Amino acid sequence: MPFSFALPSVRHLRRAVLACSLLAACAGTLAQSLDEDFDDEEKPWQEIAVQLPPTPQEQNLAEFYLSPNATMKAYVDLNSVSVGTDNVVRYTVVTKTEGGAVNIIYEGMRCETWEKKSYAFGHPDGKWSRSRRDKWQPIRDVGANRVDGALFRDYFCEGKMVADNGRVKSIIERLKTQRYIDPVRR
């Protein structure tokens, strides 16, 4: 018996073309969706607008450890600690020297880039003066009075990320309980 070959009908060809067209459209949509989900282009970092906090009150200050040779005491105003949508930890730091000098600075810290920025300086009358140096500066983790380094390493940052996934309550609890213990004082 000879082999016979039947040609597809026009109707079958139309169905096949329609099915291929739908399949191609779905594949294109899926590919576009995947491209949007895995956007490799890094968006530029944008700092949010900063509002100055209230003047720190003595009862809200948590002392943190600097070094065994520190010549001053350092505190963070727990009511001022925040983590912005820009991933900047903002806080008021108060330093007091043995001679009685007091400095109050409202700052921000970027864990991702190991930088800090001073936004304003506090005055004895409770007012703030905006900082003239509005540039991000590298964090210094040297010397006896290593305020920035201590806050970065021991309280606010874990590697290049904000500590405790940016949960402010956890960061405040870390400051309250002084999780970092001076190895000399143990």
- In this prediction, residue 161 carries a pLDDT of 95
Please give the pLDDT value at position 31: 52
CB atoms within 10 A of CB 88: 23
| Residue 98: Cβ-neighbour burial (10 angstroms; 0-12, 13-18, 19+) | exposed
Q: Which of 82, 77, 143, 87 is nearest to 115 (CA)?
A: 87
Q: Which residues pair with 109 in a beta bridge?
A: 89, 116
Residue 82's nearest CA partner among 56, 53, 116, 111 is: 53
H or E stretch covering 114: none
Task: Give the pair of three-digit tokens for residue 93.
Answer: 């730091």
- Look at the block and give the residue holding tokens 């040297």: 142
pLDDT of 177 reads 86
Per-residue pLDDT of the chain (186 residues; tens, 9 = 90+): 555 555 556 565 566 555 546 555 545 554 555 445 555 677 898 999 999 999 999 999 999 999 889 999 999 999 999 999 999 999 999 999 999 999 999 999 999 999 999 999 999 899 999 999 889 999 988 888 899 999 999 999 998 999 998 999 999 999 998 644 444 443
Q: How far apart are CA 177 and CA 174, in angstroms?
A: 5
Sole residue written with tokens 């405040």: 172
Report domain extents, the chain.
58-177
CA 21 – CA 26 distance, rounded (Å) = 9
Torsion, Cα 147 116 154 140, to 10 degrees, reads -60
Question: 172 is written with which tokens?
Answer: 């405040």
